[in-house]
Structures are given as C-alpha cells and as structure tokens.
Amino acid sequence: MKGLLVIAHGSRRAESNDEIRELAARVSVQAAGQFDHIDCAFLELAQPSIPEGIQSLVDKGVQSIVVMPYFLANGMHVAKDIPAFLKEASEKNPQIQLSVSPYIGAADVMPSLILDAAAKAN
Amino acid sequence: MKGLLVIAHGSRRAESNDEIRELAARVSVQAAGQFDHIDCAFLELAQPSIPEGIQSLVDKGVQSIVVMPYFLANGMHVAKDIPAFLKEASEKNPQIQLSVSPYIGAADVMPSLILDAAAKAN
C-alpha cells in the first residue's frame, strides 16, 4: 500500500491547520487510486507531527510513503528540517520506502496562479 | 499605473529569497499588460520589507497596488500581520488604492498540484 503525507508548516491559528486537514481530504478525493492513504502532518505548532504522521501511515499498513512538502520556497524547512525528520523516520522504519516530492512552490504554474489570484483582488 | 506586490514570508536562506525574486520576475514576463510594475516584498528576514516594497511602487508612480499574499494557509501572517502592514501603508499613502488578493493557497487547483508533485517523488 502507498501513502502520501502532505507536510505543512503548522500555525498558531487553529483554522489554518484545519484548512490543511481539509486540503488533505480534498487530495484524497482526487487521488483516484494513486495512493491508498493520504494524511497531513505539521512541522510545528500543530498535530500530528511529522513522526506521528509517518507512524500513522505505517500503522495503516503502508509500505511506501511519498512525503510532499507543502511549502512555497526552498527555505530552511524544506532544505534542512524536513530532510532531518525523514532521516530519523527512515532509520526508525527501515522496511518502509520513503520518498520526497518537489515542494509545492516548485510547480511551474505558480506565476499563472499568482496572476489569477491578483485578478480577484478587492 | 497599476502595481502588483507579491508578499512572501522571507527566509534565513538567501537562495530561498532569490527564488521569490525570480518568481516575481517570471510573473512580470507573464503579466502582459495586467500590471505596469511587479515586485516582491518579504514579511520578515529579507528585503525589501512590505513598507519598502509599497514605497518602491509608489515611487515608480503607481496609483493602484494589488497585494498578493504568497502564503499557503490563512494563518497569522495572512490574517493579521499583512493586514496590519497594509493599514499602515494605507494611512501613509491615502492617495494610493490598495487592494488585497486571495492568498495563493486558496487556489482551487492546489489538490491537483499536490498530486502532480507527488507523482515526481524520488
């Protein structure tokens, strides 16, 4: 079984964390067999943490996990913090295949999305 | 003249801030007359700051500015910090029309982008 873990920063604002949970639920609806389980996890300030999120997928019987950094730029969190968590998770679960996707900000479509959003300004 | 200010968080990692500057340059290329000037600014940790970014557009003769929060969720930065900066900017420049676009994470296409990125994991 294949799992996807969407990793977001986490916020002091509960609504913001709920927004990420709802996003993960929308991803699940669209995943159409690409993944058996899709969850989110938070780098800080919210639960589940990254280790908890990975463990939860492992507990569901997932053997292969794609980690998706839901971050806009290749800053410290993407370049250092998330890889450190994954190294730890990999050592703890050597039987699990862990892979990392590009972070969301690397999507080529971002300039168009920015202009689309800008057109909705009020 | 119309300006667009893309506001990112800012990072301790210089490459991450440069990535946002390059993104703003790519947006400029695609803007095709939608805006006369497109710049980026940073909430913290990098320059220009939000007040500096707004001032720079004002100095270029822009009368109307769309502010685009380049953030993924409606957390403290989007809900409180950016509006506070804009209130200040508005009071300082009452002659400028300031409007705010949806933040990038509000784009309907995000679940698809997450799955696209996930498909590129390695």
Question: What distance in Å separates the CA atoms of residue A35 and residue A43, rounded to the nearest whole number?
Answer: 22
ipTM: 0.96
Cβ contacts of B32 within 8 Å, gap of 6 or more: none
Cβ contacts of B72 within 8 Å, gap of 6 or more: A8, A9, A70, A71, A72, A104, B103, B104, B105
The answer to whether A9 contacts chain B (CB < 8 Å) is: yes
Give pLDDT, residue B122: 81
The answer to whether A96 contacts chain B (CB < 8 Å) is: no
- In the predicted model, is pLDDT for residue B50 greater than 90? yes
Residues present in chain B in total: 122
- In the predicted model, is pLDDT for residue B32 greater than 90? no
Cβ contacts of B55 within 8 Å, gap of 6 or more: none
Minimal CA separation from B94 to chain A, in Å = 17
Angstrom distances, CA of residue A61 to CA of A1, A17, A87, B17, B118: 7, 26, 20, 39, 19
Q: pLDDT tens, B51-76?
A: 999 999 999 999 999 999 999 999 99
Minimal CA separation from B59 to chain A, in Å = 21
pTM of the entire predicted model? 0.95
- Indicate if the alpha-carbon torsion angle B99, B114, B30, B50 is positive or negative: positive
Residues in B 63-82 with any Cβ partner in A closer than 8 A: 66-68, 70-76, 79
